[in-house]
Amino acid sequence: KERFAEIISQVQHPLVRAIGETGLDFFRDYAPRELQEKAFRCHLDLAAETGLPVIIHNRAADERVLALVMESECRRGVFHCFSSDRNVAEQALALGFHVSFAGNITYKNTEEIREAALMIPSERLLVETDSPYLSPQSVRGRTNHPGHIGYTLELLADIRGEDAEELAAATVENAIQLFGGM
């Protein structure tokens, strides 16, 4: 409760651009699921109340993440480091969210993620590094950093049949629209 009160007190600062990263991680279960869901609900409510976008973490929790978002009034944010299938992407878009892809889309055996990337409208697409994790395949094994974002962007442009520079410009504009200028 104390930590959440601290978050609420700081959310009005002019440099705060989003709520999160928040969500559910049922892959590792570092925290009890009930506690994860309670915190996620609070963050979704805070995002809805403030009008700030929410950055959603979803790992092996598709159904519960979507259910909790649907139950909330939050309709602005991003499903970050997307690792789900086309169905989840469609639902995220229908709820008003952006979808962001990280280095994991460059890995082998990520057909479902790539299929999802194909159907995201350019105006709702984002790209990220998720540094220091999920280095793109060509630099896997090294610590990830923002300089590696081009690898992910190039793969996205390639599978979508788009020009990489145009896609980069679109994702920058999308980030500005979602998070505001600095």
Distances (CA, A) of 100 to 117, 124, 169: 9, 9, 15
Inter-residue contact 39 to 74 (CB < 8 Å): no
Q: How far is CA 182 from CA 14, 48, 85, 124, in A?
A: 10, 21, 33, 20
Low-confidence ranges of the chain (pLDDT < 50): none
Total-model pTM? 0.94
Per-residue tokens: 58: 């979803």
The per-residue pLDDT for 182 is 58
What are the structural domains of the chain? 2-179 (3.20.20.140)
Tokens of 47: 């995002």
Q: What's residue 124's pLDDT? A: 99
pLDDT tens per residue, range 130-170? 999 999 999 999 999 999 999 999 999 999 999 999 999 99
Say how far apart CA 36 and CA 29 lie, in whole Å: 9
